[in-house]
Structure formats: C-alpha cells, structure tokens
Amino acid sequence: MPAQAATLEEQTIRFLKQEQLPLPDPETHLLLAVSGGVDSTAMTYLLWQLGFSIGIAHCNFQLRGASSDADQQLVSQMADRLDVPLHTRHFETRTYAREHGVSLEMAARELRYAWFNELRQQHAYSYLTTAHHLNDQVETLLLNLTKGTGLKGMTAIQPLNGHTLRPLLFATKQQLIQYATHHGLSWREDETNLHGTHDRNHIRHQVIPALQALNPSLEHTIYANIQHFRGI
C-alpha cells in the first residue's frame, strides 16, 4: 500500500524542527495575527490543535464598512470557541494615511505592526505569529526579482525574523483551504484581494498563472530554490 500523506499538523511539526523553531510548550506564548481570512483562520486552529498557548490579535481598519465589522465578529466567535484571549483595535486608517503621506496599504501595515509589538511586550507573548505561506513566498521572490535584489532578497520571507514567527511558509494556499474546509472552519474573503490593483496582486493573478502553465509545480520548485539560496 502507498504511504499515507502526512497531515498538515505533521508537516508543521516537521517544518518547525527543520527550521529550529519553537515547538508546543507551556512557556511559549504565541500572539496570532488573525484577519478572519482562510490563511489566519487555518493557522489559528492548527496551532491550537498542536497544543500551542495562543492569543489572537485582530485589527479593524474601518476600510470596508460592514465587512470590516463582520470580520471582527467572526474572529471574536473563533476566540470564544477556542477559549483563547482576544485583542482587538479599531484604527483610523484613512486619517493616518493622509497625515503621514502614505498609501492605505502602508498605513495599515505600520499601524498593525506597531500595535502587535505593543501587545507582545505588554502581555509577555514570546512571538508574533503570522500566516504567511508558500504562495506568499513565491510572490515575494518574484517581486524582489522584478524590482532588483541581492542574495537576501532571493531568500524571500524568513521563518523567524526577530520576534516574528511564520510557521506555515512550507504550506500552499490550497493546503490551508483544504485544511479549513476539512475541519468545518468559517472564514471571510477580503474582496480587495481579488483585484489586480497592486503589484503583489498583479503577480498573483497574472504572472504566476502564466508561469504555472510552464511548471505546474512552480510553488514547490521556488521553495526548493529559496532553500538553496538560504544554504539549507
């Protein structure tokens, strides 16, 4: 009989060991950045299932009206169901962007990471944990190559950068969708992800499909290349 494919839980533990990242431990407390989308929803349930001590941080950027509030409600329900701490904050994102002369995307990034760092220190979380996955790795590498980069840019997103932990860099978006579906999880789609208005979305919706026509295993090929660039 063919060997049974490893579960996402098993793959995650293998990845954590390979990268010498924290394993489930009562003394390791993770602050999870959770938007309500499938990536962070799957990550939350997965790490909870593995026995990590977790808390959830959710940002309401007030950019999508009732949709933003619905995201927050869904995340709050998940925190209640898993019986884990929940931290939420509303941001005046448009005001911040205008006053600092930055895009809404950059404003949201600056606001959330400043708050995440504040939460991590105030509540003694060991790491901020994000749901970046293999597709994000591919997009980042292609963006770096397009704009010009050195060896550091060729290694794309790091599994651990300071106090920021990314335990899902090995997993594809499709794996996370399948995991969430299998476990009956609910999530919300951010409709802004569907439009090719930003460089990353152009890479995601135009460039990558064209490259996948040449190499259907594009994500795993690029992942292997990134590991070579990192010297692993």
Positive or negative, the CA dihedral 232, 45, 115, 95 is positive
Confidence check: pLDDT of 30 > 50: yes
pLDDT recorded at residue 1: 46
Reported in sequence order, the residue ranges of the chain that DSSP labels E, i.e. its strands, are 29-33, 53-60, 86-90, 127-129, 160-161, 164-165
194 — pLDDT class (breaks 50, 70, 90): very low
Which of the two residues, 67 and 129, has the higher pLDDT score? 129
pLDDT number for residue 196: 43
**What pLDDT, on a 0 to 100 scale, did the predictor assign at position 193?**
53
Q: What is the mean pLDDT of residues 151-173?
A: 91
How does residue 147 score in pLDDT terms, banded at 50, 70 and 90? confident
Between 228 and 54, name the one with better pLDDT.
Answer: 54
**How far, in Å, CA of 76 to CA of 93, rounded?**
21
User: What's the pTM value of the predicted model, to 2 decimals?
Assistant: 0.91
Report the mean per-residue pLDDT for the chain.
Answer: 91
The confidence score (pLDDT) of residue 191 equals 56
Quick one: average pLDDT of 166-184?
97
Average pLDDT on 45-60 reads 97
* pLDDT, tens digit (0-9, with 9 covering 90-100), for 121-136: 999 999 999 999 999 9
pLDDT band at 215; cut points 50, 70, 90: very high
Per-residue pLDDT band for 190 (boundaries 50, 70, 90) equals low
Rounded Cα distance between 125 and 22, Å, is 13
As given in the structure block, the two tokens for residue 171 are 């997993």
13/200 Cα distance (integer angstroms): 29
DSSP 5: P
What would the mean pLDDT of 143-167 be, rounded to a whole number? 88
Q: Over 70: is that where the pLDDT of 74 sits?
A: yes
